[in-house]
Amino acid sequence: MTAPLAIVTGGSRGLGLETARQLGTRGYRLVIAAKDKKRLAAAEVALKAEGLDVQSKVLDMASLKSITAFGKFAATLGPIDVLANVAGILTESMRDGVLGADDKDVAETLTINALGPWRLCKVIAPHLATNARIVNVSSGMGALTGMGEAFFGYRASKAALNVLTRVLSKELAPRGIMVNSVCPGWVKTDMGGPNATRTVAEGAAGIIWAATLAAGGPSNGFFRDGQPVAW
């Protein structure tokens, strides 16, 4: 029996790399994708050294051309059981607030964090297995309930990603495909910084939970540590 296949974006480091590692240790074949070719190759070598079945493919979430090419590559893989949209950026600062945020930073954040996953889902969906799982890594910063200050681009991008989860889950439900958003919490990554309260392993755990849900499990939800959180 062929092992299930998982695609993990942002898989060259941090939360994406740890998500891939944890899926690999559960017997999944892996495709890790990221923009930085050198770092991605190093991540592939590291995972293979742990005995995992992994290949890497360069993917720029800001480039429609790159995403389209990735979709053609994905078509050669056979049925895809998991798509984990982990890649994301946060370039704004609290100091800039909303009105002082750079236009280019906000536009790039929206493109990579929201349009990128949408475009990727479009090219991957035809190749998803029945009862596949899509996990969109969101953030509590994108929740409308309790919305905080500053970081307009990042908050808007994650709110948009949650919208993608809601509408896509309904469209793919007839195929038994589950689509959920996951907030990993404040994680010690390049984005989260050294003062974050969670390790990458702890942050990835909720993603793994959503990626490995049994058939008939919850879909169309927003979760942290496997528990529903407010939109």
Enzyme catalytic residues: 154
CA pair distance 59, 194, nearest whole angstrom: 27
Do the Cβ atoms of 89 and 108 come closer than 8 Å?
yes
CA atoms within 13 A on the CB side of 1: 4
Cα angle at 138 between 135 and 142, to 5 degrees? Answer: 150
* SS3 label, residue 7: strand
Q: Report which of 30, 116, 136, 37 is spatially closest to residue 71, judged by C-alpha positions.
A: 116
CA pair distance 135, 138, nearest whole angstrom: 9
